Amino acid sequence: MTTRDGTTREKVLILDFGGQYTHLIARRCREAGVYSEIVPFNISPEEVGRYGNVKALIFSGGPRSVYEDGAPHPNRELLELNIPVLGICYGHQLLAEKCGGRVVRGSKAEYGRTTVNLVGDSKLFSTLPKRIEAWMSHGDAVLEPPEGFKVTAVSEDNLIAAMENPEKRLYSVQFHVEVKHTPLGREILRNFLKNVAGCKFDWRPLDTLGEMVRNVAETVAEYEKVICGVSGGVDSMTTAAIIQRAIGDRLHVIFIDHGLLRKGERELVLESLRRLQIENIHFVDASREFLTALKGVRDSEEKRRIIGRLFVEVFERTAADIDGVKYLAQGTIYPDRVESGATGALTSLIKSHHNVAGLPERLGLKLIEPLKDLYKDEVREIARALGLPSSVIDRHPFPGPGLAVRIEGEVTAEKLRICQEANAIVEEEFRRAGLYGSVWQAFAVVLDSRWVGVKGDARSVGHIVVIRAVTSEDGMTADWYPIPAELMDRISRRITNEVEGVVMVAYAITSKPPATIEPY
C-alpha cells in the first residue's frame, strides 16, 4: 500500500491478545489518520518487517492473566526492533512482565469509570490536565514497574495506571484509551502516534480508491471477465462499482433474490444497478428454492449454513452460463474477516459469514476483495465518491442470510411476511422522525413465542415482534438506542394494527457485547 507520492504508507500493527476492544484500537488509529491492521499476537519480527513502514506496535487488551499457563505472549524480540510499543490493559501488564516487572492479582479489581492522576512528564499526556476520567477493566495489576520504567499515572486506588521507558520507546496504560468512556483517550492515542511514533497521519480512505481501481485493472487481463454477487448493501454495490470502473462491461453482476430480503429490496437493487450503468445484470428469483430448503429448520447456524450452501449452488449455476470468467469479486470488509476468525490467532468465530465461504474454490475462480481492509464507514466514503445513490449508501446494514436470522425458529411464509411488514414500518417511522441516520440499525425480529391478545372484543393469539435499534461505529460493538416514547408508541400501534398475526411488540435493550446485533 503506497501513498500518492509512491512511498510506502506508514502503518500501525495491533497485536490481538483476544480483547473485545481490539478492533476499536484499529478504528481510532485510522480516524487519527494512520492506517492500522490487526495481526496475531505471535507475529514474528520477520513478519513485522514484511509489512514495510511500521511506525508502531500496539498490544491489545485480553481476557487472560499474563502469569497463567498458556496465556498469550508476544515474541520478546519485538521489543528489540526499536519500534515504539504501546500496551493497553493486558498489553500494559505484558510489557511489565516481559521487561522484568511484577504483575499480580490485584487486591481490588477496577472496572468501569475511574479517575486517573497523571504524575511527572510524559509525551502521552503532555496536552492533558492532571486528572482525567478513564475506563478500566482489569483484575490484575502491575505491582512493580520494570527497571528503567517510570510511573506516569496512578488510579484513584493508587494502582499503576501508566508507565513508560522513553529511551526504549515503550509505553503502556492500564485503562482503555480506545473506548468513548475514556473522554481524552483519542488524544492520548494521538499523542503516542505523533510524539512517540512520529506518524505523518497520511491515511485517508479516499486515497485508496485509485489504488483499488488500478489493482483490479492490472490484475484482470483484457480478455478476462469478473463476476460479482450483489445483495443491495453498500459493500457489494461499492465492490461492483469499483470493478466496473476498472474493467467496464467485462463485469457481470449476479443478484440472487433468496426470498429473505426486506420489503421492496429487489426493486431497489435492480434500479440502483441500472443507475450505476452496469450492463450485465444476471437476476435470479430463487425465493421458492430457499424457503423449501429451510422448511423445518430451527437452529440459527444451520439456517446460515443452508442459505450459504444453496447460495453457492444457485450462484454456481448462474456463473456457469457466463464464458471467460476468471475472477470473483466479493464485498468482504474488515469486520467480516474479524468476526469470521480470519484475523488474529485468538479471534473466535462469532458467526458464519457467507462472504468468506468457499465460493471461489467451488467455482475455480481467483478472488478479488477490494474492500477487505476497510470498515463500514470507510466503505461509505468510497461509495459516495463513486456516485452510488444515498438509498444504498445510507441504508442500514443487512445480514447476508437476510431475514432468516431475524426470525426465531423455522422460517415460515407467515413469519417472513410479518418480519418484512414490521421491518418496513420500523424503517419508515425512523425516517419520518428524522432518526434513521442516528442509529446503526433499526429492525424487527419475529419470535416463535406467542402472546394472548384481544382484537375486536375477541381473544386473539399472535406473534411477538421485538424491535432492535442500536448505535455503533463499525458494528463490532453497539449500544442499544433509547427510542423516544412517542416513536416507540407509533411503531407498536402500527405493527399491531397493520400486521396481521401480531399482538405484542417488545424492545431489546441489551448492548453488544454481551449480545450480538442480529439475534440469530
CA angle 133, 136, 140 (to 5 degrees): 140
Burial of 267: CB neighbours in 10 Å, binned 0-12, 13-18, 19+: exposed
Q: Answer yes or no: is 516 within a domain.
A: no
Among candidate residues 10, 97, 164, 178, the one labeled active-site is: 178
Q: What is the pLDDT of residues 88-106, one digit of tens each?
A: 999 999 999 999 999 998 7
Query: Are residues 131 and 89 both part of a single domain?
Result: yes
Q: What is the pTM of this model?
A: 0.77
Among candidate residues 89, 99, 199, 228, the one labeled active-site is: 89
Query: Are residues 300 and 377 both part of a single domain?
Result: yes
Query: Are residues 182 and 217 both part of a single domain?
Result: no
Question: Where is the domain boundary, 393, 422, 452?
Answer: 393
Q: Which residue matches cell numbers 499503576?
A: 160
Q: Answer yes or no: is 72 within a domain.
A: yes
Question: Where is the domain boundary, 170, 196, 222?
Answer: 196
Q: Looking at residues 322-338, what average pLDDT do you find?
A: 87
CB 425 within 8 A of CB 495: yes
Query: Are residues 149 and 235 both part of a single domain?
Result: no
Q: What is the per-residue DSSP string for 497-514?
A: HHSTTEEEEEE----BTT
Among candidate residues 23, 92, 176, 463, the one labeled active-site is: 176
Query: Are residues 130 and 241 both part of a single domain?
Result: no
Query: Are residues 27 and 134 both part of a single domain?
Result: yes
pLDDT at residue 157, as a whole number: 86
From CA 510, how far away is CA 507, in angstroms rounded? 10
From CA 348, how far away is CA 106, in angstroms rounded? 28
Q: Answer yes or no: is 517 within a domain.
A: no
Mean pLDDT, rounded, of the chain: 90
% of the chain at pLDDT higher than 90: 74
Q: Answer yes or no: is 97 within a domain.
A: yes
Query: Are residues 239 and 164 both part of a single domain?
Result: no
CATH of the domain at 34: 3.40.50.880
Does pLDDT of 330 surpass 60? yes
CATH of the domain at 435: 3.30.300.10
Query: Are residues 479 and 357 both part of a single domain?
Result: no
Question: Where is the domain boundary, 361, 393, 425?
Answer: 393
From CA 465, how far away is CA 451, in angstroms rounded? 10
Query: Are residues 336 and 443 both part of a single domain?
Result: no
Confirm whether 181 is a catalytic residue.
no
Please state which of the ranges 154-163, 199-208, 357-366 shows the lowest mean pLDDT.
357-366
The amino acid that residue 123 corresponds to is K
Q: What is the pLDDT of residues 391-434, one digit of tens each?
A: 899 999 898 899 999 999 999 999 999 999 999 999 999 999 99
CB 115 within 8 A of CB 133: yes
Q: Looking at residues 289-306, what average pLDDT do you find?
A: 95
Which residues lie closer than 8 Å to 195 by C-beta, 6 or more apart? 123, 124, 126
Please state which of the ranges 6-10, 76-80, 203-207, 491-495 shows the lowest mean pLDDT.
6-10
C-alpha cell, 335? 469486520
Q: Looking at residues 122-147, what average pLDDT do you find?
A: 93
Range of the structural domain that residue 352 is part of: 207-393
Confirm whether 29 is a catalytic residue.
no
CATH of the domain at 239: 3.40.50.620
Query: Are residues 358 and 492 both part of a single domain?
Result: no
Please state which of the ranges 295-304, 342-351, 408-417, 468-477 shows the lowest mean pLDDT.
342-351
Please state which of the ranges 108-117, 186-195, 277-286 shows the lowest mean pLDDT.
108-117
Question: pLDDT class for 458, splitting at 50, 70, 90?
Answer: low
Q: Which residues pair with 281 in a beta bridge?
A: 253
pLDDT at residue 20, as a whole number: 80
Confirm whether 99 is a catalytic residue.
no
Q: According to the 3-state scheme, what is the secondary structure of 285-324? A: ECHHHHHHHCCCCCCHHHHHHHHHHHHHHHHHHHHCCCCC
Q: Answer yes or no: is 235 within a domain.
A: yes
The amino acid that residue 76 corresponds to is R
Q: Answer yes or no: is 424 within a domain.
A: yes
Higher pLDDT, 6 or 62: 62
Question: pLDDT class for 305, splitting at 50, 70, 90?
Answer: very high
From CA 322, how far away is CA 14, in angstroms rounded? 42
Q: Answer yes or no: is 512 within a domain.
A: no
Query: Are residues 94 and 47 both part of a single domain?
Result: yes
Question: pLDDT class for 353, splitting at 50, 70, 90?
Answer: very low
The amino acid that residue 3 corresponds to is T
Q: Which residue matches cell numbers 440459527?
A: 300
Q: According to the 3-state scheme, what is the secondary structure of 117-179? A: EECCCCCCCCCCCCEEEEEEEEEEEEEECCCCCEEEEEECCCCEEEEEECCCCEEEECCCCCC
Query: Are residues 361 and 484 both part of a single domain?
Result: no
How many structural domains does the chain have? 3
pLDDT at residue 352, as a whole number: 43
CB 400 within 8 A of CB 355: yes
Q: Looking at residues 115-140, what average pLDDT do you find?
A: 92
CA 511, chain centre distance (Å): 15
Q: Answer yes or no: is 4 within a domain.
A: no
From CA 464, how far away is CA 495, in angstroms rounded? 10
From CA 129, how far away is CA 144, in angstroms rounded? 25
Higher pLDDT, 109 or 99: 99
pLDDT at residue 133, as a whole number: 94
Does pLDDT of 490 surpass 90? yes
